[in-house]
Each structure stands twice: as C-alpha cells, then as structure tokens.
Chain A
Amino acid sequence: MDTELVIRAQRGDEEAFTSLAVAVGDRLHAVAHRILRDIDLAEDATQQALLNVWRDLPQLRDPARFDAWSYRLLVRACYAEARRTRSASNLRLLPADEPMGADGTSLVIDRDQLERGFRRLSIDHRAVVVLHHYLDLPLAEVAEALGVPEGTVRSRLHHAMRGLRAALDADARPARREGSQ
C-alpha cells in the first residue's frame, strides 16, 4: 500500500481516501465474502469497514501497517454483521454469483461439504482460514491482523482445518457405504 496515500488520508484528505478505498475495496470485499459466505452481508461489512477505516485512520500508528490494520477492522465488521443476522437463515449454500467448478460432480460435492463445514466454524476460525489460505498471509501477519498471538492463530487454523477435513470425510463416508451395499 502507498504509505504516502495513507498518511494523506490520515490527515483528512478525502481524495487520498478515495484512492485508498478504490485500491483496497475489492480485496476487503473478497475477504468479507469468503468469511461471511453471503454477498449482501459481505457488502454491508465492507461498507462499514471502509467507513471505520476513514474514521479511525488517525489512530493507525504505523502507516506501513495499513493492510493488517484494515483486515482487523474488516474482520470486526464481519463479526458485527454475523451477530446482526445470527438468527437469519437466508444464507445461500451455493451463491448464484459463484461459478460452478469445472471438474464435475465431485467438486460440487466438495464445495457443498466445505460450505457446510465452513459455516459451522466461528468467525474467528473462518477469518484465520481466509487470511491464511486465501490471502496467503503468513501466520505472523494473520496474528498481527487479528490482534492475537501467533500461537492462537496456529491453534485456530488447526482446529478449523480439522473441522473442514471432518466435514469432507463425514460426508464422504455415507457415499462409500452406499456404494458398497
């Protein structure tokens, strides 16, 4: 991220913030969508996160750490959206705006299994998976972004991946049993 842009925005330069928002908006939205698994919630979370970025930008001590800081605000916005809609049950299992896999039925099954397994994870665990496996952030940077110790990130990732693996395996076992009968 252009730190000079961050500094200008910190000092209230709305034009600089516009450039900043354009530069990071897509990435934040992509992350929010992967954490929340819902396009509408992700849009709301991204919108709130960007507003919070503007509002709290003067609190950012080191402009060079803008990316990690913005992810933290985004994850907090995701928490808020998830809490706000906790009772809602309109999350789409396979969002219509996502392309289908190119390699046929097995991928669709994997995606379905993953979707279910992922939804069983807490936002804490989802955020670690997305930041590490989607953004390719090293665990130390994930820890910085989330404001937790690296050991906590490692533990969350372990439990999350174990949960996803269990989801994949659990859904696979009945299929195998059916095939053997």
Chain B
Amino acid sequence: MSTDRDVTRIVRSWLDEGVTVLPDRVLDLVLDQIPATPQRRAGWLARRFPIVNSNMVRFGVAAAVLALAVVFGINYLSGPNVGTEPSASPSPSVEATAAASPKPLPTVLGTALTSGTYVLTSFPVHLTVDVPTFEAPAEWFAGCSDGGTVEQSVCFRRLPTSGVFAVGFPLVDNVVADPCADDLLDPPVGPTVDDLVTAISNLAGFGATSPLDITVDGFHGKQFTVTRVSPEVPECGRTWASGTRVNGMGSGEANLVRILDVDGTRIVLTGAYDPAAPEADLALVQQLFASVRIEP
C-alpha cells in the first residue's frame, strides 16, 4: 500500500519527465498565422481600484492646488500687459482652444490622445467627443481594438498595468446568431433603433436593462446596459458585428449602449466598463457619453 506522500513523490517525479521545449516549427506556425488572425476586442474593462476614492481625493486636491496656482500666477506674477480674465474651472476639462477646432480621431491602433475635442472620421454623421484632462499616470489613446474605421474608439488606461475602458463608435449592422460563433443573424437585424435594441437585448448569455428613451442634440434614441451574465466560456462573448468584425465582451464586462436615430441614420455608442469597479470608472464613461455632440 502506497502512502499519500509516496504517491505524491512518485507523481511529481513522473511529471518532471517529458518534453520541456516547444519545437521551433510549431512556434513558427503560430507566428505565421498572427498577421491574418484579427484580435477580438472585448475586455477593455476598467480595473478594480480599491483605493480609487483616495486617488480621486488626491486628484481633487491636485486640481484645486493647480487652480490656485493658476489664479495666483495670473493675478500676481504676470506682467501688467497680461490679461486678468477669470480663470477657467480646474475640473477635468477640455482645452479651451480645442472645442473650436476638433482634431480628427485617429483610427490607428493605440495612437496617443491629448485632451481636447475630437471628431470622428469615417462616421456617417458629424460626431465629436471630448477627451478630458486627467492626472498622471494615465494615458488616453485611440483605437483600442482592431476595428480601424469600422469602430473608432476613445480609450483610457491607468499606468502601468491597469485594464482599459473604452467608449467606442462601432458601425453596427448586425449581431451574432450565437455568442459562441462568428455567424451573424440571417436575415440581419432591421434598420431601426428598436430593431437593434431588441437584437442586442436578446443575445444569449447576456442581460440587458430596459431601454430608456433619450434625446441627444435633438436626436432620439435608446440607452441601456448590456452585461455578460454567462462568462464561464471565454469564447462565448460575441455580440455585435461591424462589417466583418465581430465584437465581444469579456467575463463580467458591461457595456453602456446608446443607439440614436440621426435623421434616418442609426448610430451606436458603446461604453465598456466593469460593473463591480468603482463608480469613478463608470463616471468617466458617462462623462465621455455626455460630451458627445452630433450634427447630421
């Protein structure tokens, strides 16, 4: 009769034997396929920050100190020819000059963004979004998916290793028939806001809140939240499609979804976040949503 310790020792010794090196040809096969294998955007989620409240406090303090410094500098240190206009609010804000001349939102993956107003390119309507200033260490960048022009996005990440949340502007034209496969609904989703709201709300493995009526710059639509409720199988997080690109949501991810009818053109805004994360992360998504301005 073997003792437990004997069995463990024998098993460990036995497991130590065997191959330990992946043949180069296998690695080469993988690397050869990478350029033709698109990445699946999904889990660009906010990371949980247990000390976020104190971070926010520090941010508030820093902003207040900065505001005082600006006011002090303008009023007391500037020469007599410098204007003495009241300083602007120090809260997270967009550069004053940017609003007048929005910059094109890059479509290249990972392009760094500075604060300011950006206008979407390759989008069916004129839409601008504001990237606020934020305390370091953090970074804002465009294109946190492989969506290119079919899904432009504004992304934010706290450095050095946090996850990313993103507000995306996908050109959604259909949803998947099965979240575990890339096949799309056939016939595809109809053209109205309600058609898409219904299709997304009915995705298997996802939960959706009741859609709320909203109006943005005079355009009507719906807003609701989609949450992945069956995250056991990582591959089964597929959601909607933009052309040939299929989006996915990571385990535990939620998306604030806004669908609007802009003079007959349906547009979609998505904000990915972690529902269990501090409210500050969702607040940033909502801040970006609120900054969106639309013209037909």
Contact = CB atoms under 8 A, between A and B. Distances in A.
B179 interface: no
Contacts of A59: 40-43, 234, 237, 248, 250-251
Nearest to A12: B109
Contact of A95 (B14, B18, B144): B18
B37 A51 contact: yes
Given A25-B27, A58-B145, A133 B15 contact: yes
- Main secondary structure, interface of A, reads helix
B47 interface: yes
A134 B29 contact: no
B77 interface: no
A39 B144 contact: no
Given A21-B31, A114-B14, A169-B1, A57 B161 contact: no
A39 B19 contact: yes
A54 B39 contact: yes
Question: Interface residues of A toward B: which range?
Answer: 35 or more
Contacts of B11: 114, 129, 133, 161, 164
B16 to A, nearest CB: 7
Contact of B30 (A4, A47, A57, A58): A47
Nearest to A63: B161
B8 interface: yes
Interface string B17-45: 11111110011011101110111111111
B4 interface: yes
B232 interface: yes
A101 B161 CA distance: 44
A138 interface: no
Contacts of A76: 234-235
Contacts of A13: 110
Given A21-B27, A54-B37, A61-B45, A99 B17 contact: yes
Contacts of A172: 2
29 contacts: A4-B161, A12-B39, A12-B109, A12-B110, A22-B27, A26-B20, A26-B21, A29-B26, A43-B22, A50-B30, A51-B37, A54-B37, A55-B38, A56-B234, A59-B234, A59-B237, A61-B43, A62-B47, A62-B163, A63-B161, A98-B19, A130-B15, A133-B11, A161-B7, A161-B11, A164-B7, A164-B11, A168-B2, A168-B10
Enumerate the 3 nearest inter-chain pairs by beta-carbon distance, A residue then B residue, closest first: A59-B43, A29-B22, A59-B42
Interface of A: 3-4, 7, 10-14, 17-18, 21-22, 25-26, 28-30, 33-34, 39, 42-43, 46-47, 50-51, 54-64, 72-73, 76, 95, 97-99, 101, 110-111, 114, 129-130, 133-134, 147, 161, 164-165, 168-169, 172
